[in-house]
Amino acid sequence: MRVTMILPALTEATSPLFRPIKYSLFPPLGLATLAAYLSPTDEVRILDEHVTKLDVDDDTPDLVVIQVYITSARRAYELADAYRARGVKVALGGLHVTSLPDEAAAHADVIFLGPGEDTWPQFLADFRQGSFSSRYTSSRRTLVGLPPIRRDLIQRHHYLVPNSIVVTRGCPHHCDFCYKDAFFEGGKSFYTQLVDDALAEIDRLPGKHLYFLDDHLLGNKRFASALFDGMRGMGRLWQAASTVDAILAPDLLEKAAEAGLRSMFVGLETINAANLPSQRKRQNVGRDYAAVVRRLHDTGVMINASFVFGMDDDDPDVFDRTVAWGVEHGLETATFHIMTPYPGTALYKRMEPRLLHKDWDLYDTRHVVYEPSGMTTTQLEEGYWRAYRDFYRWSNIWRGAAGKPARARMRHLAYAGGWKKFEPLWDALIRSGQVLRALPLLERSLSLPDGDHIKSEMRRKLNTAVRSI
């Protein structure tokens, strides 16, 4: 059987206004996971439209599998329709398909609702027998017996972080704006691999760097503790995501740092405490965000803090106040978003009367798609862009790093500066298909020795990498 698996480009990734580095970070791990269930005699390939140009006309497989996100939905349906017009069977799955199954079903022979570890093998058996259902819905949630991911199908040289890994599914929390809640409806919403299986997957990955794409790696304390015990001594440098309550809990963060954790993504979401209860962000309510930052920094871990603008208690000064708070507390990086009600979420149901349109291309957390409460749509979009510009000004990067010890200060400058201030060099590496050459720089910025001239060293090494292409 010949199978083509496609990750369509997100709409914003095709815009000339945005640098492509964000879209060349991680390979399509979900598709590579599903590919592991295929027979060794099957002919399968994975195409990521962010790094590979697709030629649908020259592709005639028996089955096409397309993973759909909200801002890739238009492109996903376009591809699906083109294949089906030539008689190719098309399967669609992913977050957007689960949120709006009837919309997706109009463009597919079969759709998958929820995670695919139980439904995908059943579909393959049905497909090989020549008779399959039009819809498969996940209900049995387990990662026991998950086959090794088909990393041989991933073109590693196209990605800055080829060693991405997921060892859990879902999240124990249920925030109103989270896209994942609908995805895991009808079964367990958070579950883990066996620790030994997770360690075996880590052991198969080359090099030093790992990036855990789990929504909440610390969500199951017993699992996480055993995982970190097993990772100690492996010599890995890794990044992950967690929540403020798990970070403030005793012992687990220290174990993670001893096992190689160097950077943590944390959803702080808002500096306006009044916003949190309405979003069911209960794990943040009453928490001291400054203590979260201190705890991470005290264990040698950098923080990438996520903030959402446009909640109902926000007013026009929230952008400047958020940036000032982040700089004052020495956040190495920050990710900003405009609140976006995704279909299938509790937020969407509550906000539907205030939606301005349902053009999914613009549901990218960069555009205002609803009528805000405390400001105009123009103020919200302009404030969002101003927050990014102001936070990543060299003066604010220096200010944020200034109060730290020498080693942490140099690492802050290298990481924040390297991520945001060398865009033309990143662009050259990505467009030439050589972004993996920059991975040693990422590893070094995660674990820098004391020393001066880090900024000039990074610029020199990036220039050397570009000249060697």
Q: Are 274 and 313 in contact (CB under 8 A)?
A: yes
- Longest Cα–Cα distance in the chain: 66
Distant-in-sequence, close-in-space partners of 206: CB < 8 Å, separation ≥ 6:
163
pLDDT over 80 (residue 454): no
**C-alpha span between 293 and 295 (Å, rounded):** 5
**C-alpha span between 332 and 32 (Å, rounded):** 32
Convert the pLDDT of each residue in 205-245 to its tens digit: 999 999 999 999 999 999 999 999 999 999 999 999 999 88
Convert the pLDDT of each residue in 245-301 to its tens digit: 899 888 999 999 999 999 999 988 888 765 555 544 444 544 688 999 999 999 999
Distant-in-sequence, close-in-space partners of 55: CB < 8 Å, separation ≥ 6:
none
Smallest Cα–Cα separation from 224: which of 248, 206, 240? 240
Convert the pLDDT of each residue in 286-313 to its tens digit: 468 899 999 999 999 999 999 999 999 8
- Residue 280's alpha-carbon distances to 248, 267, 347, in angstroms, are 19, 13, 10
Q: List for the chain the helix, strand, coil content (%; round to 5).
A: 45, 15, 40
DSSP 54-122: --GGG---SEEEEE--GGGHHHHHHHHHHHHHTT-EEEEESHHHHHSHHHHHTT-SEEEES-STTHHHH
Report the length, in residues, of the chain. 469
Phi/psi at 160 (nearest 5 deg)?
-70, -35
CA-angle at 417, arms to 414 and 418, nearest 5°: 70
pLDDT over 50 (residue 458): no
Query: For every residue of 257-288, which 3-state class applies, written as one string?
Result: HHCCEEEEEEEEECCCHHHCHHHCCCCCCCCC
Structure token pair of residue 47: 């195409």
Convert the pLDDT of each residue in 354-374 to its tens digit: 999 999 999 999 999 999 998
Q: Are 454 and 407 in contact (CB under 8 A)?
A: no
pLDDT band of 183, cuts 50, 70, 90: confident
pLDDT band of 453, cuts 50, 70, 90: very low
Convert the pLDDT of each residue in 97-141 to its tens digit: 999 999 999 999 999 999 999 999 999 999 999 999 999 999 889
Q: Going by DSSP bridges, is the β-strand pair 110-113/168-170 parallel, antiparallel, or unpaired?
A: unpaired
Q: Higher confidence at residue 20 or residue 78?
A: 78
**C-alpha span between 123 and 261 (Å, rounded):** 38
Cβ neighbours, 10 Å, residue 202: 19
What spatial distance separates the first Cα and last Cα of the chain, rounded to whole Å? 37
Lowest mean pLDDT among 22-36, 245-259, 260-274, 418-432: 418-432
Q: What is the pTM of this model?
A: 0.90
How large is the average pLDDT for residues 311-340?
94
